[in-house]
Amino acid sequence: MSGRRLTMATQPSIVESGSGQRVQIRLAASVDAAQIASVLRESFIEYRDSYTPEGFAATTPTIEEVQSRMEEGPVWVTLLDGSVVGTVAAVERGEDLYVRGMAVLPAARGSGVGQLLLREIEDYAATRGYRRLVLSTTPFLHSAIRLYERFGFLRSEEGARDLKGTPLFTMVKNLRQAQ
């Protein structure tokens, strides 16, 4: 385990989304795995035909796969009226923090939940000294790409070009100057 992993606060933070709704953001617990898997599936099901079957399966992990991700790095959930409406996970890759499994339920899109998740993960990375945030996305997730760009992510030539046959590209956001 890296020296960057510090004890994380277990207290949820409550913030107002852009729509004025109160959204709770907290670290996920193993009991949240089923809800996280459900949010990922519901968030990406409308794009299923744009993925290969294998790419879609990788994007929508099972409960057991979500639990494995929780052992690899932090996973957050956002709750609106007590229901999980969004999630994001991270895993260390050297000086970079890789963002994965970000999803917001269709009914909660446009409420600011995605921005709040990105802010949470950036704060986590910055306080632990990571150099960059890195993520991979598919070219057909237009709204997500616009969100990432507004948040300061830029397209990069590095990284994988496909996810099990589904087109993919990498985006990065510098957090600090390399020393």
Judge whether 61 lies within some domain: yes
Element (H, E) at 172: strand 169-174
C-alpha distance from residue 17 to each of 23, 111, 119, 134, 164 (Å): 6, 6, 12, 24, 35
Do residues 136 and 167 touch, judged by C-beta distance below 8 A? no
Judge whether 101 lies within some domain: yes
pLDDT at 1: 36
Residue 145, domain extent: 13-174
d(CA 16, CA 111): 9
Query: What's the structural domain count of the chain?
Result: 1
Residue 81 token pair: 């009226």
SS3 at position 89: strand
Element (H, E) at 123: helix 113-127
Task: Say which CATH number the domain at 125 has.
Answer: 3.40.630.30
Residues in the chain: 179
pLDDT at 161: 81
Judge whether 70 lies within some domain: yes
pLDDT at 21: 63
Q: What is the pLDDT along the chain (179 residues), one digit of tens a residue?
A: 344 433 344 445 555 545 556 788 999 999 999 999 999 999 999 999 999 999 999 999 999 999 999 999 999 999 988 889 999 999 999 999 999 999 999 999 888 899 999 999 999 999 999 999 999 999 999 999 999 999 999 999 887 687 887 889 999 999 975 44
pLDDT at 103: 96
Q: β-pairing, 132-137 with 96-104?
A: parallel
Judge whether 126 lies within some domain: yes
d(CA 112, CA 99): 18
Judge whether 6 lies within some domain: no
